[in-house]
């Protein structure tokens, strides 16, 4: 054996060669760890840690324009066949906020005016307002409220305001719903049951 050289078995050399070839391959196939790699986070997020998920912006929430129900923009009350008051809708507004689990929370505000008619007198008057949130024929929520207007002596009109909060639209309809506002009740009044005609008396 030549002095100064150490003889290494061939099996050991082969194993070392395999390890050397396998190491680069493993390094290439290992998935990157974005959250745990501060170096990559600096380039992606501007800091060493991944920032928390931002909450949804109210500007991204679908909020449809309010529709006025047919015939619901004005309402008259009569006294002895003469117009006592005329109620009219004024400004209408709505706001939509992101809710839990993808839902949408809707708030509706209604302003209106009560005008005295020939048969009216100053006083306090109620203005029935109905707000409906729906999807086609499916009613999500419907509320009827009384707005109060006071007409003092010497005046001919008074204003009222109704604000309804907390309409919840489920996530399945959050991108496809409508808002309706109208004066009066939310539906047609129920008809009184017809009385059956009395049976004719039996022949004695």
More confident residue, 28 or 150: 150
Q: Indicate if 87 and 42 belong to the same structural domain.
A: no
More confident residue, 2 or 67: 67
Tens-digit pLDDT profile for residues 118-142: 999 999 999 999 999 999 999 999 9
Query: Taking the CA atoms of the chain, what radius of gyration do you get in angstroms?
Result: 37
Any idea which residue has 């006071």 for tokens?
Answer: 150
Q: How confident is the model at residue 50 (pLDDT cuts 50, 70, 90)?
A: low
Q: Indicate if 74 and 27 belong to the same structural domain.
A: no
Tens-digit pLDDT profile for residues 33-45: 444 555 555 545 5
Residue 58 pLDDT: 54
Name residue 112's beta-bridge partners: 89, 160
Q: Indicate if 32 and 78 belong to the same structural domain.
A: no
Q: Indicate if 47 and 69 belong to the same structural domain.
A: no
Tell me whether residue 154 is in a domain: yes
**The pTM is what?**
0.64
Element holding 138 (H helix, E strand): strand 138-151
CATH code of the domain containing 175: 2.60.40
Tokens of residue 149, six digits: 């207007």
Determine the Cα–Cα distance for residues 96 and 105; give it in Å rounded to an integer: 6
Tokens of residue 52, six digits: 């928390």
Q: Indicate if 48 and 94 belong to the same structural domain.
A: no
- What distances in angstroms separate CA 70 from CA 29, 62, 74, 139, 175, one per listed residue? 66, 24, 10, 17, 24
Tell me whether residue 195 is in a domain: no
Q: Indicate if 96 and 132 belong to the same structural domain.
A: yes
Q: Within a 10 A sphere around the Cβ of 182, how many other Cβ atoms?
A: 23
Any idea which residue has 């050399």 for tokens?
Answer: 13
**Burial classification of residue 86, based on how many CB atoms lie within 10 Å of its CB (0-12 exposed, 13-18 middle, 19 or more buried):** middle
Whole domain around residue 39: which residue ranges? 12-52
Q: What percent of the chain has pLDDT over 70?
A: 62
Count: domains in the chain: 2
15 by DSSP, 3-state: which? Answer: helix
Tell me whether residue 191 is in a domain: no
Tell me whether residue 197 is in a domain: no
Q: Where are the beta strands (DSSP E) in the chain?
A: 67-68, 74-79, 82-98, 104-116, 123-135, 138-151, 157-169, 178-183
Tell me whether residue 2 is in a domain: no
> Which of 70, 91, 64, 62 shows the shortest CA–CA distance to 163?
91
Order the strands of the 138-151 sheet from edge to edge: 67-68, 178-183, 123-135, 138-151
Residue 60 pLDDT: 85
Tens-digit pLDDT profile for residues 79-92: 888 999 999 999 99
């Amino acid at each position: 054996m030549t002095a100064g050289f150490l003889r290494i078995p061939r099996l050991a050399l082969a194993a070392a060669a395999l390890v050397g070839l396998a190491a680069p391959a493993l390094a290439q196939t290992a998935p990157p760890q974005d959250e745990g790699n501060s170096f990559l986070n600096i380039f992606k997020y501007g800091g060493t840690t991944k920032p928390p998920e931002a909450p949804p912006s109210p500007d991204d929430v679908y909020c449809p324009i309010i529709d006025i129900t047919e015939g619901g923009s004005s309402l008259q009350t009569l006294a002895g066949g003469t117009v006592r008051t005329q109620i009219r809708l004024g400004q209408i507004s709505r706001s939509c906020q992101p809710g839990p689990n993808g839902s949408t929370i809707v708030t509706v505000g209604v302003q209106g005016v009560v005008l005295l008619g020939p048969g009216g007198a100053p006083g306090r008057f109620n203005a029935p307002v109905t707000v409906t949130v729906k999807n086609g024929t499916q009613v999500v929520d419907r509320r009827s409220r009384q707005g109060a207007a006071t007409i003092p002596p010497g005046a001919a009109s008074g204003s009222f305001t109704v604000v309804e909060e907390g309409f919840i639209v489920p996530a399945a309809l959050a991108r496809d719903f409508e808002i309706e506002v109208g004066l009066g009740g939310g539906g047609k009044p129920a008809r009184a049951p017809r009385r059956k005609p009395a049976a004719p008396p039996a022949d004695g």
